[in-house]
Amino acid sequence: MSLAEFLKGSYHEFRHKVEWPKWMDLQSSTVVVAVATLILSLFTFGVDELFSKTIRNVLQFLIGVFN
């Protein structure tokens, strides 16, 4: 099989055999992904802030104990 035949066959399969999502399905999926990404980023930010403050407080406590 030559490269040209492979590309032609690939194009035909993508064009005629693949079932592409409908526009409305694509839009709703995009909204779901955007909202999930926003929620996950806010959660990650919150956990990072919590850990940062906890570590800072522990270190300040240890510095105070050993000074």
Domain ranges across the chain: 3-66
Confidence of residue 67 (pLDDT cuts 50, 70, 90): confident
Confidence of residue 62 (pLDDT cuts 50, 70, 90): very high
Share in percent of the chain as helix, strand, coil (round to 5): 85, 0, 15
Spatial CB neighbours of 29, under 8 Å, sequence gap ≥ 6? 21
In angstroms, the CA 59 to CA 56 distance is: 5
The reported pLDDT for the residue numbered 1 is 77
The residue that leads in pLDDT, 20 or 53, is 53
**What digits encode the pLDDT tens for the residues 8-50?**
999 999 999 999 999 999 999 999 999 999 999 999 999 999 9
